[in-house]
Amino acid sequence: MDHLWTPWRYAYVTSADETARTGVAPALRAWPGNLGCIFCNLIASVDYAIANSMEAEKAEAAAGLVVRAKYNFVCLNAFPYTSGHVMAMPYAHLDRLAALPAETAQELMDLAQRTERALERVYHPDGFNFGMNIGQSAGAGVAGHVHLHAMPRWTGDTSFITTVAETRVLPEDLETTWRRLRLAFAELGPA
């Protein structure tokens, strides 16, 4: 997992792209704020767009927001290592798993289970990586806001990490991923 979620990659995208730096998608940049956290910004910019009469579905698609639960949400990784790379996390800006209230932690695990099912349904992978980097020294790209990475894996798909991670052509664009996962979660029914 250290090899998968390392800070150097965040540094690379941070310098390269405004969305990576702020967490705010181009379509949502009417939001005037900055909470200093890409995940808090992501949610706030979606809420702002909806409050200012953007259709919820459109705003959520723009942000790659797949599921909104009561205490947590699931969003796409804007710079995925592989198709289907998503993150589940609390709305609350908390930097430790242990800091999550019990009901938030419980729901996060429920969402992890649903994410596994949704990824299974859409991608039929051979396996999964689910994991958290907690704290900067552990490799967390966004150390202030705990988040659970989830991605489907296939036998033999690891070689790209050490070779062409930055330039790998993803087989699917983010909007397609968003649509497929959104549908898969909906088909799973309510939590």
From 72-80, 85-93, 109-117, 159-167, give the range in contact with Zn ion by CB under 5 A: 85-93
- As given in the structure block, the two tokens for residue 15 are 């310098």
Q: Give the whole-angstrom CA distance, residue 153 versus residue 142.
A: 23
Closest approach of Cβ 132 to Zn ion, in Å?
15
User: What does residue 98 show for φ and ψ, rounded to 5 degrees?
Assistant: -65, -20
Please identify, using beta-carbon distances, which residue of 3 and 70 lies nearer to Zn ion. Answer: 70
Interaction with Zn ion in 27-56: which residues (CB under 5 A)? 37, 39-40
Site string for Zn ion, 96-135 (x = CB under 5 A): ----------------------------------------
In contact, 23 and 42? CB cutoff 8 Å: yes
147 is a contact residue toward Zn ion (CB under 5 A): no
Please identify, using beta-carbon distances, which residue of 64 and 84 lies nearer to Zn ion. Answer: 64
Residues 6+ apart with CB under 8 A from 131: 1, 4, 5, 148, 149
Alpha-helix runs per DSSP H in the chain: 7-16, 18-22, 38-51, 56-63, 102-123, 159-162, 174-188
Residues 6+ apart with CB under 8 A from 123: 83, 84, 152
Closest approach of Cβ 39 to Zn ion, in Å?
5
User: Could you say which of 21, 68, 93, 117 contacts Zn ion (CB under 5 A)?
Assistant: 93
User: What are the residues binding Zn ion (CB under 5 A)?
Assistant: 37, 39-40, 93, 145
